[in-house]
Amino acid sequence: MKTIVIDDSRAIRRLLCGLLKGLDIETIEAEDGCDALSRLGSENADDIALALVDWDMPRMTGIEFVRELRSCPEYSGTKIMMVTSHNDPEDLMAAVQTGADEFLMKPFDEQMFKDKLRLLGMLN
């Protein structure tokens, strides 16, 4: 099982990747949605169980990435969690309608992160 961590903040990517590695989950890092699509092109789609996606990024926003990923049938089983500071109910509804499965609001702690992974069925 692999997770792609997509965030333009290197610090957030490192934090999320560190938490995932502590759970023995392999990670791929991407700076934005365009970078993520490029990196996914060299991976087996069946191996990508989860995408952690920031909302506000250059070149391709998180919501644009979610829309693009959901248009690819080979990623239909990939869970998507938005990791964002957006908390407007309309934004959250738009992300769900686009294909996001869950949200983790910044700032967050390790327990909150693990709880969200459990909700997605990624942890026991």
Q: What is the pLDDT of residues 16-70, one digit of tens each?
A: 999 999 999 999 999 999 999 999 998 999 999 999 999 999 999 999 999 999 9
The pLDDT value given to residue 124: 82
The pLDDT value given to residue 86: 87
The pLDDT value given to residue 30: 97
Residues forming beta bridges with residue 78, ordered by sequence position = none
Four-residue CA torsion sign, 84, 88, 94, 99: positive
Q: Which domains does the chain have, with CATH numbers?
A: 2-118 (3.40.50.2300)
- Tokens standing for residue 76: 């239909």
Q: What percent of the chain has pLDDT over 70?
A: 100
